[in-house]
Structure 1
Amino acid sequence: MIDNYEIIGLLAALLTTASFLPQVYKTWKSKSADGLSLTMYLAFFVGIILWLVYGVHLKSISMIIANSITAIFTFLLIIFKLRYK
């Protein structure tokens, strides 16, 4: 059974991960990544991967799900930044 804190973690994961969707969509649709900082997204991506490893170590479903999806969205933004120069 999932405890209340894990439910809070899942809700936080949903909200923070979903916050990337508008930026991914806008960048993909406009084919422009001018406003994105490659350095920031590379550092953020490494941080997310480290959080994912930590989540796996803790066996925290909310951390694993959130950081896996956020890593994918961040990776897409990095690809868009490199592609849409």
Structure 2
Amino acid sequence: MPQVYHSWKKQSAKSLSWGMLGISIIAAILWLSYGILLRNNVIILSNAIMGCLQLNLVYLKFIYQKKL
């Protein structure tokens, strides 16, 4: 959450790498799948939120990269 706020506030996402964002999204999807298989609401909720935050960072990076 702090990274999303920082990127939005500074209107820059230069410090974020595409590779790391991709790995984070894949990790969130895998953990979410694991939580669904276990039917564990805590794992599902936390990784759904994490995935949404990561997708938000991808969006910000894409938008701010276009501005340059």
The alignment's TM-score, normalised by the length of structure 1, stands at: 0.73
2:46 is matched with 66
CA separation in 2, counterparts of 1:58 and 1:83? 36
Q: List per-residue Cα deviations over 1:33-78 (Å, max 9, x = no partner).
A: 0100111111110111111011000011110010000000000001
Alignment gaps of 5+ in structure 2 = none
Alignment gaps of 5+ in structure 1 = 1-20
Q: Report which stretch shifted further, 63-72 or 36-45.
A: 36-45
Identity of aligned pairs, percent?
37
2:37 is matched with 57
Moved over 6 A (4+): none
Equivalent residues, number:
65
Q: CA RMSD in A?
A: 0.8
**Are 1:44 and 2:24 matched, yes or no?**
yes
